[in-house]
Structure 1
Amino acid sequence: MIAARDNFPQPTPQEYFAWEEKQLHKHEYIEGEVYAMSGGSRNHSLIAVRFTTLLSNHLDGSACEVGNSDLRIKIAKSEKYTYPDVSVTCDDRDKTTTQYITYPSLIVEVLSPSTEAYDRGGKFRLYRNNPALIDYLLVSSTSIEIDLYHKKDNGEWIIINYKEGDMIELKSINLTFAIAQIYRGLTLTPENDVT
C-alpha cells in the first residue's frame, strides 16, 4: 500500500480516529497530515495472509498478538500512526489500547514497486523509534527475496538478505522457517512487467 497525501485540515489524533472509522479506505496519520492508503496486488495480499497465518500459528497460546493490515502502529513519543501489513506485539502495554499498538517486536511490510522506497527509508526510520522493535521484514511481491532488518542487543541494526532456498530466522519471536513457505505457488512478475 502507498500513502498519498489528502487535502484535509490538520486533525488531532482523536479527530482522525473518529473520522477514519467512517471511511471506506484506510489512512495513515503523520503529525497532523492524513494520507490515503491504496490497495495492493494479488501477490501482496496472499503474502501478507501467509505471514499472518504463519505467525499466528507459531504464537498460538503465547502472550503475543498478531495484527494484520487493519491494526495501526503508533510511533513511540510522536503523533504518527501507520498501517503495516503484519505486526506482532508481546508487550502488555499494548493490551490497554483499542485503536493501535505502540510496542511491536516484529513488523512485516510486503513491498510493491510504488512502496519500496518509502518502506525501506522513511517508514523504517519511523519504526526504529519503537523501543521494542527487534525485527523489520521487507518482503518482495515480485521475486523470492526478503530483507530482514534486525536490531542487535547493542542497538545496532543489521540487514540480512534472504533468497530462494534460504531459512529465515526471526529472533524477536523465536521462529525459523523456509522462505518457500511464503512464496509457494505464486506467479511472480518482475517489477518492469507489472501492469
Structure 2
Amino acid sequence: MIASPQFNYLSHSEYLHLEEQSDLKREYIGGEVYAMAGASDRHVTISLNLASCLREHLRGSGCRVYMSDMKAKIETANRFFYPDVMVTYDDRDKSTSNYKQYPCLIVEVLSNSTEAFDRGDKFSDYQQFHSLQEYILISTNRQKVDCFRRNDNGLWVLQPYSIQNPLVQIQSVNLEVDFATIYEDVEF
C-alpha cells in the first residue's frame, strides 16, 4: 500500500541497501521510493488465509509462497513492489534472497486507497513479468475476487468470482479455494 514518496532517485542497489537497514517497507518506482502504510485487519487476515492455503497445497512441490515482506523486482519497468502474496517455482529466484523476478502468481488484497493503483498501473507493470500466469485481486469490502489469467495468446482475461460463484480456480498452481477459506474470520 503506497503512502507517500520518501526519497528521490535512488539506484536499485541504494534502494536495496536502504530496505535492508530499515524497519519500514518502501516500494520503488523509477528511482523514487514510497513508504507503505499499514494494513487493516481484513487485509491481513485475507492475505494470511490465502497464503496459508497456498503453502499447504504447494508443500513439497518446489514452489515458494511469499507474503507481503518479499519484493517483486520488475526489471523492465524499473520497479520493486511488495505483493500481498506471491508464488514462484522458477529456480532462478533461488539466487536472490531479497526479491523475486519470476512469479507465476501475484495476489493483491484491495483497500480503498490502493484499489485503483492495483487495478491500473501496478497491474500494467506486473504484466511485464513473462512468467506471470495469474493476477488475483481480492476485495476487503465484500466477498469478491477478480482473477486475471494470461491466455495462450498473451492476453489477460478476467474471471470474476462472487457469492454466486465462490469456488476460485487458481490455475497457475492447480488449486481450488472457496470463499469460506479466503474470508475466514473476516467480518463485514
Q: Which TM-score band (shorter chain)?
A: over 0.9
- The DSSP-based 3-state class of the residue aligned with 1:137 is strand
In the TM superposition, 1:92-107 aligns within 5 A as 92-107=91-106
**Paired position in structure 2 for 1:168:** 168
CA RMSD of aligned residues (A): 1.1
1:24: Cα distance to partner? Answer: 2.1
**Paired position in structure 2 for 1:41:** 40
**Paired position in structure 1 for 2:113:** 114
**Which 10-residue stretch deviates more, 42-51 or 72-81?**
72-81
Q: 1:13-51 CA distances to partner (integer Å, 9 max, x unpaired)?
A: 111111122222100111211111001100000000001
Give the % identical residues.
43
**Which 10-residue stretch deviates more, 129-138 or 158-167?**
158-167
Long gaps (5+) in structure 2: none
**Counterpart amino acid of 2:62?**
A
**Paired position in structure 1 for 2:180:** 180
- The DSSP-based 3-state class of the residue aligned with 1:153 is coil
**Paired position in structure 1 for 2:53:** 54
TM-score when normalising by structure 1: 0.92
**Paired position in structure 1 for 2:142:** 143
Q: 1:124-170 CA distances to partner (integer Å, 9 max, x unpaired)?
A: 00000000101100000111000001111211111111111521111
**Which 10-residue stretch deviates more, 93-102 or 121-130?**
93-102
**Paired position in structure 1 for 2:153:** 154
> Structure 2 CA distance, aligned partners of 1:180 and 1:91?
30
Long gaps (5+) in structure 1: 189-195
**Counterpart amino acid of 2:151?**
K
Change (3 A) 1:125 1:41: same
1:3: Cα distance to partner? Answer: 3.8
TM-score when normalising by structure 2: 0.96
> Structure 1 CA distance, aligned partners of 2:23 and 2:100?
22
> Structure 2 CA distance, aligned partners of 1:132 and 1:148?
16
> Structure 2 CA distance, aligned partners of 1:185 and 1:39?
19
